[in-house]
Amino acid sequence: MFFTIWTTYYHYSGCTNSCPAGTYAGGTECLPCQPGAYSGGGAVGGCPICPAGQYSGEGYPQCYPCPVGQHQPTAGQSGCHICPVGTFQPY
């Protein structure tokens, strides 16, 4: 693969090259996945969103589960919420 790094974006040459993890093919360059989405590499036109209970930041190659004591009821989010007083999220 041939990549020329331009800040956080990658320019790729040819139709058979795939973008690295955390990015997707957007026209002629690899763009970072938006917060709440991920890519293990090779995504085209956008990145799949993280499911409820998980989160990701910009350019993440995968989603991560919310830490103990936090939750995220909505898919496609960049963080988790602290559980209200008197409640918990054990996993």
Q: Is pLDDT of 73 > 90? A: yes
Q: What pLDDT was estimated at residue 57?
A: 96
Q: What pLDDT was estimated at residue 2?
A: 37
Give the distance between the most distant pair of CA atoms in the chain: 56
Q: Is 24 exposed, middle or buried (0-12, 13-18, 19+ CB in 10 A)?
A: buried
pLDDT tens-place string over residues 17-57: 689 999 999 888 999 999 999 999 888 889 999 999 999 99
What is the overall mean pLDDT for the chain? 84
Q: What percent of the chain has pLDDT over 70?
A: 79
